[in-house]
Amino acid sequence: MRVWFLSAALALMCMAQNAAAGTILIVGDSISAAFGLDTRLGWVSLLEQRLRQQGYDDQVINASVSGDTSAGGLARLPALLAEHKPDVVIVELGGNDGLRGQLPAQLKQNLGSMIDQSLEAGAKVLLLGMQIPPNYGARYTTAFAAVYSELGQEKKVSLVPFFLEGIGGHPELMQADGIHPAVGAQGRLLDNVWPALKPLL
């Protein structure tokens, strides 16, 4: 009888653990697609490792595409939500919008629509903020950076103010193109995300 109770308890624990396991969908650009690197060394792969190390069974779906913009992410999102039914959506987009000089108002509209669709699908949202190099002019860079903080407040979603905090402006942490984080920066990217992501799991 005692063995039966132990077996039943273990079965219930396994069922509860599986029920708690969720899906994390990452919709990003080249930074999350580990452009120029072995993808096994990118921050998303490091995230998967950390989840396992800390006892989480969440599945990570990396739907990041190098060169993608907020418009591209918005176009791809409905199918991704329908297919994966994520519990958490991480939005890491906007860098390419800024490099192309697209209007911050359009960026805000696109990201806002992505957030709304994700929330309507029942997912929690984590928005990863980006900044543009100062050579684009103070007015533009300020307006661009403000998009993320404004959306975080207006949509009441979790926000990492600057995804590349501690990385941008440090050549030793960047690849030769000066745009994409190097292998040595991937752990820092994860550390920037983790404190905001963990409460959503």
In tens, the pLDDT along 111-147 reads: 999 999 999 999 999 999 999 989 899 999 999 999 9
Q: Please check whether residue 9 lies inside any domain of the structure.
A: no
Closest Cα partner for 84 from 20, 43, 160, 23?
Answer: 23
User: In the annotation, is 177 catalytic?
Assistant: yes
Known active-site residue 87: no
Q: Is residue 163 part of a domain?
A: yes
Domain annotation covers residue 181: yes
Which DSSP helix (H) or strand (E) runs through 160? Answer: strand 158-160
Cross-strand bridge partners of residue 26: 62, 90
Q: Could you tell me the pTM of the whole model?
A: 0.90
What is the three-class DSSP state of 61? strand
- Domain assignment present for 111: yes
Q: Which domain holds residue 181?
A: 22-200
Q: What is the pLDDT of residue 10?
A: 43
For 90, phi then psi, to 5°, come to -100, 120
The pLDDT tens digits for 138-176 are 999 999 999 999 999 999 999 999 999 999 889 999 999
Mean pLDDT estimate for the chain: 92
pLDDT band at 4 (very low <50, low <70, confident <90, very high): very low
Active-site hit among 32, 68, 70, 180: 180
- pLDDT, residue 186, reads 98
Asked if the structure places residue 11 within a domain, the reply is no
Does 184 reside within a domain?
yes
With a cut of 60, say whether residue 41 has pLDDT above it. yes
- The residue annotated as part of the active site, out of 30, 32, 70, 158, is 30
| Residue at 191 is within a domain | yes
Total number of domains constituting the chain: 1
Domain with residue 63: its CATH number is: 3.40.50.1110
Please tell me the predicted confidence (pLDDT) of residue 20.
59
Domain-located, residue 124: yes
Does the annotation count 84 as an active-site position? no
Dist CA 28 CA 67 (whole Å): 9
